[in-house]
Structure 1
């Protein structure tokens, strides 16, 4: 019965996909990528994808390995209304499905979420002619290239979203964002829980931030401060900066973050002191070819008994692809050296090929996955720092509104994996077809 229901649901998805594609091509040009009505006062858009994934020999915290296949799909429908100048009302609905549930292990992000509300917010731009933008409601928010605050748009089925509000003050090429956010924790997949996620579950919201962006210099300068007040007696203050720019054929991106506060471990409330940084420089050799080198570091805890907590927390970052597309690593207890090439042989075809080399900053600490879960840990601290290398190849092909993605990754297990359990090389691949309008 379950298999029959699964087939019926998939058939409904394909039927909806084909019908919407047909009507959208009748009503607007493919280059616009959106439906507009009432003199552009109402815009309708969306995205659908179907993805097949295969994982082989993924490492688990108990020292074992697992293999798994996943067929997933996601449908997003968005509506944006501009009833008057400067006022925007935005609504996004989402339906995420995992057609291969159950899995041999619990993956640390939501694969399956029935038709539900993803975004619902109001934005007011330049009220009374003032250089301000104000917003409030449920919204997808991104800062620091998703390293600290992100949404995972384009990857995870159930994109991360936040309840909150913000105020942006603009003057020339300088902007200052003030915001308060509360990450939405979706209910477990249950049809009775549609549209039933808690709104503003913790008031005042637990994350406060200020973000300054200045482009008056030859380089773009960003300075930020964040305060994350959590329920479990954990509090994190994070401050830092980002410098980025381009000169001729060269480009660079450099970021730094320092954390302090407290972390509750058992009955102990430890003093938090941690930091992280990244740097990337690239060369556009030709218009169709770019070479780059990236280095990522995040501190780890070298002594769990010294009363200090030194593991950097990537907070609400959505880091798929930042530290390898196999999602084995997060911005925590990490050294990652990553040279890569990006080729664009045709205007609609992009190929990325790179090799990550991974070490733990402190072998006494854990190896953390992209979703902040413990991948492996050596309680003795005697294991090697060298975790391994990941070879990634990603191809993206765009056909106006339709796109294709194909990825293949191979992880060469290093000494740390051998020291902490089963250690075969791991493999991951996926194919995806999507449509955006």
Structure 2
């Protein structure tokens, strides 16, 4: 997505929709809950990492900003709900976070989350990352007793190592003086 150079902060707006099936338990011979592919869905459904890619629907809007050359900021809003009210709510580890009542949850909503994160790069090798995510529970989460809001914040420092590409091939390494 291109952003005109004359617009300050170079904003880019993107939207996404994710869907993983759930099991309505109508046929005892068939389990139709999507089996998530990876054990971690970090930031797939918000920075709080509460949910797995099973029995879930997510709509997300992302706003990317570059206020400075080496600074990137991301603000995102997610709306989360279950694909099927009769199936479990799954955690990021694929374990069950909340079981539905016998008749299923009364509402399919899980809640919404707003996240803000940023990365600043110093001299191409030191990266400072910071972010905050806030989840506001709704519907099935409140009904199952998981109705407390959750806020998470992080700060990390990363050092990037670079390899000398001039000495990357075996031929070039043999020619190097010892």
- Per the normalisation by structure 2, the TM-score is 0.80
1:285 touches 1:291 (CA, 8 Å); kept in 2? no
Q: C-alpha offsets along residues 13-39 of structure 1, whole Å, 9 cap, x if unaligned?
A: xxxxxxxxxxxxxxxxxxxxxxxxxxx
Q: Distance in 2 between matches of 1:306 and 1:343?
A: 49
Q: Which residue of 2 aligns with 1:395?
A: 118
Q: In the TM superposition, what whole-angstrom CA distance separates every residue of 1:319-359 from its partner, at most 9, and x where no partner exists? A: 21122111112221111000110011222111000100001
1:377–1:286 CA distance, 2 compared to 1 (3 A)? farther
SS of residue in 2 equivalent to 1:418: helix
Q: 1:409 aligns with which of 120, 133, 144?
A: 133
Instruction: Please state if 1:435 is matched with 2:159.
Output: yes
Paired position in structure 2 for 1:308: 30
Could you list the structure 1 runs, at least 4 aligned residues long, displaced by more than 4 angstroms after superposition: none
Question: For 1:361 and 1:313, how far apart are their aligned partners in 2?
Answer: 14
- Number of the residue aligned with 1:297: 19
Does the 8 Å contact 2:48/2:150 carry over to 1? no
Structure 1 segments unaligned to the other structure (5+ residues)? 1-248, 250-283
Q: For each residue in 1:25-60, what CA deviation from the matched residue of structure 2 results, as whole angstroms up to 9, or x when unmatched?
A: xxxxxxxxxxxxxxxxxxxxxxxxxxxxxxxxxxxx
1:325 aligned partner? 47
SS in 2 for 1:309: coil
Name the TM-score, length of structure 1 as normaliser. 0.34
Aligned-partner Cα distance in 1 for 2:126–2:61: 30
Q: Does 1:365 align with 2:83?
A: no
Structure-2 residue corresponding to 1:341: 63
Q: CA RMSD in A?
A: 1.7
Q: What secondary structure is seen at the aligned counterpart in 2 of 1:378?
A: coil
Shift of 1:393: 0.4
1:115-170 Cα distance to aligned partner (Å, 9 max, x none): xxxxxxxxxxxxxxxxxxxxxxxxxxxxxxxxxxxxxxxxxxxxxxxxxxxxxxxx
Counterpart selection for 1:383 from 99, 106, 117? 106
8 A contact 2:39–2:94 mirrored in 1: no
CA shift, 1:373, in A, is 2.1
Shift of residue 318, structure 1, vs aligned partner: 3.7
- Determine if contact 2:88/2:97 at 8 Å carries over to the other structure: yes
Match of 1:419 among 133, 143, 146: 143
Shift of residue 317, structure 1, vs aligned partner = 5.6
Residue deviations 1:183-221 (CA, integer Å, cap 9, x gap): xxxxxxxxxxxxxxxxxxxxxxxxxxxxxxxxxxxxxxx
Distance in 2 of aligned mates of 1:398 and 1:377: 44
Q: Distance in 2 between the 1:365 and 1:324 partners?
A: 21
- The 1:331–1:421 alpha-carbon spacing in structure 2 relative to 1, beyond 3 Å, is same
User: How far has the Cα of 1:384 moved from its partner?
Assistant: 1.4
Equivalent-residue separation in structure 1 for 2:106 and 2:153 (angstroms): 29
Deviation per CA, 1:220-248: give whole Å up to 9, x if none.
Answer: xxxxxxxxxxxxxxxxxxxxxxxxxxxxx
Give secondary structure in 2 for the equivalent of 1:417. helix
